[in-house]
Amino acid sequence: MSTGFLTPEAIEQAEDRIVEDVPTPEWGEGTFIRLRTPTSDELDEWECNHSNRQRNGQYIIKKGIRVSLVILLAINEDGSPMFGQQHAGMLGKKSGPVMDRLWAAAQRLAHRTNEDIDDLAKNSSNGQGSVSA
């Protein structure tokens, strides 16, 4: 591995996306869902789509935030997206603990903490906000 200044070309060629296989034994023995890190553009779009500024200045996180991040990051063996938005309803009806496990892994891969998610809902002027699930 070389050290020193990077070039745009070196950055472009760098393999910086990682994957994590998240066990889902509730859905079958030995099964897992593979999640990958999001791109910067994907993360920006996801964050924009899941905070909603209301007229009173309060931000509210939209329903389906867990499912939508899992949909964004879940991939098939060949690296193609596993889910599309048409799967949101189905995933939203699955076991809460399983989806929470996937959500926790997705948050790690996206480098988002619970505090970061709460910040999506906070009012920029007074620090108060609410979350709708």
Count CB-CB contacts under 10 A for residue 105: 20
Query: What's the domain range around 53?
Result: 40-131
Q: Quote the pTM value.
A: 0.74
Q: Is residue 21 part of a domain?
A: no
Find tokens 């690296």 and name the residue.
79
Spell out the residues 6+ positions from residue 63 whose beta carbon is closer than 8 angstroms to its own. Answer: 132, 133
Q: Is residue 63 part of a domain?
A: yes
Q: Collapse the DSSP code of 46 into the 3-class scheme (helix H, G, I; strand E, B; otherwise coil) and give the result.
A: helix
Give the chain's length.
Answer: 133
For residue 72, which phi and psi values (nearest 5 degrees)?
Answer: -65, -40
Per-residue model confidence as pLDDT tens digits over 80-130: 999 999 999 999 999 999 999 999 999 999 987 655 555 555 533 333 334
Q: Is residue 68 part of a domain?
A: yes
Per-residue model confidence as pLDDT tens digits over 5-59: 999 999 999 888 899 999 999 999 999 999 999 999 998 888 888 766 565 665 5
Q: Is residue 47 part of a domain?
A: yes
Q: Is residue 81 part of a domain?
A: yes
Domain count, the chain: 1
Nearest-angstrom CA–CA distance, 70 and 35 = 8
Q: Is residue 107 part of a domain?
A: yes
Q: E strands within 18-119?
A: 19-23, 32-36, 51-53, 59-61, 74-75
Q: Is residue 23 part of a domain?
A: no
Q: Is residue 4 part of a domain?
A: no
Q: Which of 92, 70, 93 has its CA nearest to residue 83? A: 70
